[in-house]
Structure 1
């Protein structure tokens, strides 16, 4: 994503997504329990019209995405 778009922003609570927050160009940590509201607000700002995408960005589905990204980053770092 960084190569394609020039930067990556990550919004999370820091509990299970700390590796992605640390790797992002801009990492923003919030207190646990407000992820869905923040994802919806960020989606509104970015023009995301699908609630499914906002939920995926938020805490509910984000854990899977964060885990996959952490594994991808670990693989890239070990190869590089």
Structure 2
């Protein structure tokens, strides 16, 4: 069974951080990428892998915002 993981690229790091994701499907792995992104405010991109195969790279604009837009309606 292949494991989902991501490489987290930030401006201050020479090498990316590795984060293993829980989840059995790509949809669950993408949810995990969004959760991981919340902990990295200076994120450049996150690369999602399944085993040795890259699935997708995410720019910060591809990820779900950390604060809901509902606050604008108040």
Q: TM-score, normalised by structure 2?
A: 0.31
Query: Between Structure 1 and Structure 2, which shows a larger proportion of helix residues?
Result: 1
User: Larger relative contact order (C-alpha < 8 A, sep ≥ 6)?
Assistant: 2
Name whichever structure is richer in strand by fraction. 2
TM-score (norm 1): 0.30
